[in-house]
A and B are shown apart, each in its own frame.
Chain A
């Protein structure tokens, strides 16, 4: 079974719009709106619960033409931020959890 921390999955119960390559996320449950920069938007879009953090970093490195170490650092940082913002599903914020 995929562990949420290893295979980040974006929340599906939020309103999402792409505006000029940046994602805007409306989290009505939390009463918050977020704007993600292009790097964060790219990662968010690929947080499907299947890809690992390492795989996301590899994809980012190719797409943004950066070295893998930088990409790993960026992905890890952004995943932590998305978790803190409650935008990545975790055992505590899965839809339907209390």
Chain B
């Protein structure tokens, strides 16, 4: 059996030819929210199970396929290749390795190294009135200051602590937990939103309380540049793009700790930063965790 999955990501049509029903179900769980058709196919992939080895393959049209030993590695290889290709297809966007949430029409970015807790913090914040944009990719339009959603299934490395239990339809792979967008406690972003604030996240386990600290525009620019994925596609080797973004938004360092306290601190901080009335209304919404 062969069935194609059509996705629209950053206005580009990505077609994934799934060779079997189980692989298709895996991709629907991970990327289902981005299903759609728009314009000619810009990227085409074939994915599926490799009968001889019991493993999986992923191949972009015209390229030799890569092999994966399990579904988690399959998703990893696909996503890695696809995001690089999307960066090439949209060189006008400044891609930042970041999680993104939106309160009303204002977007907030969480930037941090792998393991800094940005996905876990994102998962917790989704219980507090915001919309999900991404846990991995924040492409910014430098002309408008807007950031685009990339709502694949939210990916966690571990079961989150505190009062934010995983939904029953969480997808478990060898190295990660994937929460499909349909199982999120929040709405999902459908279009770009104005980037208003950036938190540079650093997890401080055991700290008495989470804390935020203002950052200068220059430090924010340097930190943003360090997390830029396609800087060379932009003027000045990408430095000007990072400065452009940092001078438009409020930038803070977030020392995260206990999840509930971290969410409360982020919301309190945003209440003083976000000016849009709808954003402020979202921040007033009660927490939706059990």
Interface residues of A (CB under 8 A from B): 15, 17, 19-20, 22-24, 26, 28, 33-36
Contacts and interface: CB of A to CB of B under 8 A. Distances in A.
Interface in B207-240: 216-219, 221-222, 225-226, 236-237, 239-240
Interface in B152-176: none
B196 interface: no
A24 B236 contact: no
A33 B226 contact: yes
Contacts of B246: 19
Nearest to A16: B239
Interface residues of B, number: 15
Interface of B: 216-219, 221-222, 225-226, 236-237, 239-240, 243, 246-247
B218 A19 contact: yes
Q: Which label, helix, strand, loop or mixed, suits the secondary structure of the B interface?
A: helix
Given A15-B236, A15-B237, A15-B239, A20 B216 contact: yes
Given A20-B216, A22-B216, A35 B221 contact: yes
B225 A33 contact: yes
B247 to A, nearest CB: 7
B247 A19 contact: yes
Given A17-B239, A19-B246, A24-B243, A34 B222 contact: yes
A57 to B, nearest CB: 24
Contacts of A20: 216-218, 247
